[in-house]
Amino acid sequence: MSRNKLRRFEENARMPHVVQPDFVQLSGMESFYLKDHWQEFFPAGGGPVTLELGCGAGEYTLAMARLFPDRRFIGIDKKGARLWRGARISLEEKLGNVAFLRLQGHLIDRVFGPRDQVHEIWLPFPDPQPGLSRARKRLTHPAFLERYRKFCHPDAVLHLKTDNSDLMAFTLEVIKQQQLGLFEYYSDVHRQLPEDHLLRQVITKYEAQFLSAGRIIQYVQFSLFPQNH
């Protein structure tokens, strides 16, 4: 392991707003200590929670935390060296409404419960997981939506931003089949939205690479729960 990575891991362990559940805590033998208690975790107090899953350096988490001080934001990634960057910035800026969580996404329902008031999940540029055999790993697969439903608010909303048209087509099909509410869809974010829109203001590391390669960025916002009632 590189010294740089090691230093980041050491810093993560010292930062009070970085949570890294270990194997035993996630084993399911007993409930994770923050499950249903995230409202008490933030120095700024409780409030509606937004998750950014596969956050990398947490660009959306940071931007939204600055814009909405009354809301709470948690950046989640399986790679500690990546979320370290967002964690450092939020500490330097003294953002009391931000946390970072090192976690494999499929374990998310072991860490959050219905009392945590998760209202939103952002998925900026998730790994597209191409091919049939990997479909269940897509963060918008019905199996993932089922996990999110265990702890999200009934009005919860998901945001997917991607350059991958197969992942977008897959997600639109899931939305249709499950009768979820389709609130917003842009087939070309950077042509259809004004420059000052959040989706154009926050350009993540991966988005910058995709844009310079000439790729088209799409976005969909949809309800987590069916809208057929």
Ligand X SMILES: C[S@@+](CC[C@H](N)C(=O)[O-])C[C@H]1O[C@@H](n2cnc3c(N)ncnc32)[C@H](O)[C@@H]1O
Residue 190 binding ligand X, by CB under 6 A: no
Site residues for ligand X, 33-72, by CB under 6 A, read 54-56
Window contacting ligand X (CB under 6 A); options: 7-15, 17-25, 87-95, 200-208: 200-208
CB 72 within 8 A of CB 42: yes
Considering only CA atoms, which of 181, 178, 189 is closest in space to residue 217?
Answer: 189
Given the complex with ligand X, which of 49 and 80 has the nearer CB atom? 80
Calculate the CA dihedral of residues 57, 64, 151, 226 and round it to 10 degrees.
-110
Question: What's the token pair of residue 139?
Answer: 């963060």
CA distance 101 to 92: 18
* Residues 116-145 as x/- pattern, contact with ligand X by CB under 6 A: --------xxxx------------------
Q: Give the one residue of 84, 206, 219, 222 binding ligand X; rule: CB under 6 A.
A: 206
Q: How far is the CB of 104 from ligand X (least distance, A)?
A: 5
Task: Give, rounded to a whole angstrom, the gap between the first and last alpha carbons of the chain.
Answer: 52
Number of residues that bind ligand X (CB under 6 A): 17
DSSP 162: E
Evaluated on CA atoms 43, 47, 52, 53, the torsion sign reads positive
Given the complex with ligand X, which of 208 and 227 has the nearer CB atom? 208
Q: How far is CA 28 from the centre of its chain?
A: 22
127 is catalytic: yes
Residue 207 binding ligand X, by CB under 6 A: yes
Active-site pick, 127, 155, 163, 188: 127
If you count DSSP H runs as helices and E runs as strands, how many of each does the chain have, helices first? Answer: 9, 8
Q: What are phi and psi of 16, to 5 degrees?
A: -70, -20
Residue 85 binding ligand X, by CB under 6 A: no
Given the complex with ligand X, which of 58 and 157 has the nearer CB atom? 58
Given the complex with ligand X, which of 71 and 137 has the nearer CB atom? 137
Show which residues are catalytic.
127
User: Which stretches of the chain bind ligand X, using CB under 6 A?
Assistant: 54-56, 77-79, 82, 104-105, 124-127, 204-207
